[in-house]
Structure 1
Amino acid sequence: MGEASESDPFLEHRRLLFATAYRMLGSVSDAEDILQDAWLKWQAVDRETVRYPKAYLVRMVTNLSMSHLTSARVRRESYVGPWLPEPLLTSPDIAEEAELADTISTAMLVVLESLTPVERAVFLLREVFGYSHAEIADAVERPEPTVRQIARRAREHVHARRPRFDTDPKQRASVTSRFIEACAGGDLVAMMELLAPDVTVWSDGGGKVRAARRPLYGVDHASRWIVGVLTNPQSAGVVLEPAIINNELGVLCTLDGQPIGALALDLVDGRIQNLRFQVNPDKLAGLSPDAVLGH
């Protein structure tokens, strides 16, 4: 991006704009591309005509993201194996910012992915940013009555599928620590005790690294696969450590200090209900310390 005054609204709200694009796209690299496009468009805007820069920029980024999603969905139809959003390191204090926290979890991004581009844009603008139906209608270029229908449909869709998992920090820290220990020791029994009977495991390798091409269901199948892939990681130089990923405590996998994967855990009654394992090397840019959202 070019030079700009520190008081430039774009720079002032850049983190929020990135988070907006990321929620829309589930991709760190695509979100950065959207911000670059938005920056160029912003340079051509007559600032005197913009009464509320923050709202204007959020609407701009959302609209650009919505257009991008149309082509992205075509690419995902030929994606190898399960598609998962790109993991993103987040600092602990991000939870204090309501605008950034609620819809950035991996589980929620997966739910948002099931919406159409327009539904996702309307949902985020309405439910997260509190835009009026009239403002959203202007942003997505739809009649206001249509926007009201889309908003209701999207809200019902999300609420029906919205994750409801245990969020107690101490419990999550304990389970995460025990998970890492079970992996390090190749302890199949300990792993089975950590997983819910109807656990589901998704692994996104994009056809580029070893990963299951289909979701794994059930504690026996899932635990054996996890231990088989992650057992004794130290012997191969791989390090598993707790990390705040997508605003939740997860597991970061590194090799020689470089990220090679991330695990997101959903807990129900103290056991792992869902495990999402991202190892596609093209989708790990958000695990770099320089990419941490919240700093």
Structure 2
Amino acid sequence: MSVDTDPEFDFSGSAIERKRLYGKLFLGLCISAAMVGIVALIALLADVLYEAWGWVTWEFLTYPPSQVPDHFIPGNYGDLDTGPAGIYPAIIGSIYLIVLTAIFTLFLGVGAAIYLEEYAPDTRLTQFIEANIANLAGVPSIVYGLLGLAMFVRALQTGASLIAGALTLTLLILPIVIVASQEALKAVPDSMRQASYGTGATKWQTIRNVVLPEAIPGIMTGIILSLSRAIGETAPILMVGAAASMFTPPQLTDPTGAFSAMPTTIFDWITLPDEAFQHVAAAGIVVLLTILLLMNATAILIRNKYDRRA
């Protein structure tokens, strides 16, 4: 009696060697795909650092911007009226903008995720809302800029202000935070909830003392990624009237005042024809990347502090 051999379970020497070859080919494709992004990133960073070499100075970090090309020469600080070209007002504006955006996003995004995951009934309406939130994460940023212009600047009469920029960026990253927070809440084992209920805890006590502490690392990851996207966005804040150049930093105590941000200032420098502006724009990019890395490092430290598995 003969038995047909299934090729899927062929353990002959040639079949094993062929499967190992396929595995090595697949590993090579994965490494090649990863190297494409890594090499492109290294090339981009190397070009930016080369263009910015010698231009990132203390004066550049502490002076307002200038439209005079001579003031972009390192060491040439011009006269006392105009001063050297700097990015100080844009740095302060970006920090204030991200702080306000983080506050709004934390309360609105995490609050919406808790309601949808812990309180909302599993109905078609809830599923429809969740599906639309996921789809909103892929909407181009310029659309949110137009929405912020119509809703905050014109309808609510906030004008081209810091609060309008922060609210617009909040709309931009809110879907990402909600989806990430929901996934973090889903990852908490249901047995932990049932154990809390078994001790007599209410639903809110269970969420506050059991669910949220376990979900904080995932929630913080979503906030980190979303704020990293927000700090480099130019189109939304341009639409709500962010200034390309300001000679005084905005005041956090006056969120209705005008503001500038690093992306808009860098964008303005890049569009100018003089070659010196390209170097100072590269210096601004280096500063922007440095602040982004510092923000991410701080958020990661906070996340790890509350990660019980760590």
Fold agreement, TM-score > 0.5: no
Structure having the higher helix fraction is 2
Larger radius of gyration: 2
TM-score (norm 1): 0.24
Structure having the higher strand fraction is 1
